Copies of this chain bind each other. A is one copy, B any other.
Amino acid sequence: MDPALAELAAELPAHALLTDADQVEGYRRDAAADPKAGHPMAVVRATSTADVQCVLRWAGRHRVPVVPRGAGSGLSGGANAVDGCVVLTTERMRDIRIDPDNRVAVVQPGALNADVKRAAAQHGLWYPPDPASVDISSIGGNTATNAGGLCCVKYGVTSDYVLGMEVVLADGTAVTLGGPRLKDVAGLSLTKLFVGSEGILGVITRVTLRLIPAQSQQSTVVAVFSAVQDAANAVVAITATVRPAMLELMDHASINAVEDYRRMGLDRSAQALLLIQSDASGDAATEVAHIVDACRSCGATEVFATDDPEEGAGFTAARRVVGLALMQLGTLLLEDVTVPIPELPALLAGIHRIATECDILICVVAHAGDGNTHPVVVFDPDDPDARARAERAFSEVMDLAIAMGGTITGEHGVGRLKRDWLPKQLGDDVIMLTRRVKDALDPLGILNPGAVLHP
C-alpha cells in the first residue's frame, strides 16, 4: 500500500478504507454516469465526524483531493471522482433523532430522505422536501445540493428546512452552525452558505432539519391538453392566484414512455398532462375549483378531479416512474433548467424547436409550478453522431434558459456536468466572488476540485 494511504488506514477504524479496485470502482461516479469520471486512489466510508476530520487533515498534509459523496444519486457529476482523489462517503452515518418538542430532526448525512420522513411521521410531523430520488438519496447530498422536488412549489426547498449543521472544514476543524431555533441572526448566515455548496466548502456531518405538522389530505386534479402551450398557459393561470401543493407537467413523449414501461391508464394521445394537488384543507374545494377552471379556460380537453387519496397516489406514481421509463429508451442527458413562470410557455416551445433542429428526442417532465423543468435528451449511446447531437441539444437548452432569465440548474446542482455554463449565467464578477469564498475556506483546494468551478 502507498505509504500515505497506509498512514490514513492506521488513523481510521478497520474497514473504513477501501483500496480494492473493484470496490473503489463502485464509488467513481454518481447517477449521471459520466464516462469522464476520474479514478480515485481510495474510498473512505466514514463512520463518524472524527473519521471525516481525520481524512481532511490527512488530505491537507498530503495535498490529496477529497470528493465528498452521499448516496451517489446526484445527477450532475458533483460526486464524480477526480484522478488520485479519495472519495469520502458518508453512507454509513445514518443516525436519525426526532425531537418532537423542538419539531426538528437531527440527522447524520447518510440517512435517506425517506427514512427521515418516516421517522418524523411517527410523531405526526413532516419533512417536506421530496426530490424524485427520495427513496435513494441522502440528507447529506440533499443538503449539499439544496435539493428540491415536487412539493417545493408550496413548501420550498431543502434550504428552507436546514436550521443548523455540523460541518468539517478543509483543515479538519468541525464547526457547529445554527441549531434548533426558528429565528437566529447571530453572525453571518453560514448555515445557508453551506447548503447547496456541493462539497466545495466543507463536508456536512450532521444536519438539524425543521419539521412541520403532517400535511393535510390532498385533492388531485389531472388535466389533459392537446397542445403543450395550452398546458404551460394553464400553469401560469393556476399559480397566479393559488398555491397548489404539487403542479407537475408531463409531455406527450413522457406520457407514452410511462405507458410503454408500465400501463398506468394515461391518455396516450395527450400532448401534455398536468398533475396538480391541493392540500388547502378547508379551502380545498375553492382551490380545486379554481384549478379546474384555469385548466378548462386554457383549453384542457379533459379535467378530472378527485378527493380520493388512492386515486391521487396512482397519478403521482405515474409521474414518479417517468425517470425509470425514460431509461428504457436509451441513454439520457437530464436537464434541470428553471425559468420565471411566465417564461414557461416560451421555454417549452424553445425546447421543442431545439429537439427538431438537433434531430433528437427530448421528453419533458417538469415541476411546472415553480418553473423547474427536466427536459430529458434521449439518445443511442452506440451512435457517436447521436451523442454529439444530444450534447448540442443539452447545451442549447441551457443557453435558452439563461437568455430567458432562468437558471441552468433548479435543483440538481452544477457539479461537473454544468460547470462550463455557470459563468455564462452568473457572469465573471459573481464567479470571482465565488472563488474568493472558496479560496478563503479551502486555501489548498482539496475539497471537491472541479465541481462548480474550474479547478
Residues of A in contact with B (beta carbons under 8 Å apart): 100-103, 124, 145-146, 148, 152-153, 156-157, 159-160, 169, 173-177, 179-190, 192-193, 195-197, 200-201, 212-213, 216, 236, 239-243, 280-284, 338-342, 367, 370-372, 405-414, 418, 422, 425-427, 429-431, 433-434, 436-441, 452
Contact = CB atoms under 8 A, between A and B. Distances in A.
Given A100-B240, A181-B410, A185-B411, A159 B405 contact: no
A415 B172 CA distance: 30
Given A281-B282, A282-B283, A173 B429 contact: yes
Contacts of A371: 181-183
B145 A185 contact: yes
A184 B101 contact: no
Nearest to A284: B282
A213 B242 contact: yes
Given A102-B340, A102-B341, A197-B189, A433 B425 contact: no
Contacts of A283: 216, 281-282
Contacts of A433: 169, 175, 190, 441
Contact of A440 (B212, B414, B436): B436
A175 B427 contact: yes
A135 to B, nearest CB: 21
- Most chain-B Cβ atoms within 10 A of its Cβ — which of A281, A282, A427? A282
A75 to B, nearest CB: 11
Nearest to A423: B187
A180 B405 contact: yes
B186 A425 contact: yes
Given A236-B101, A282-B282, A188 B184 contact: no
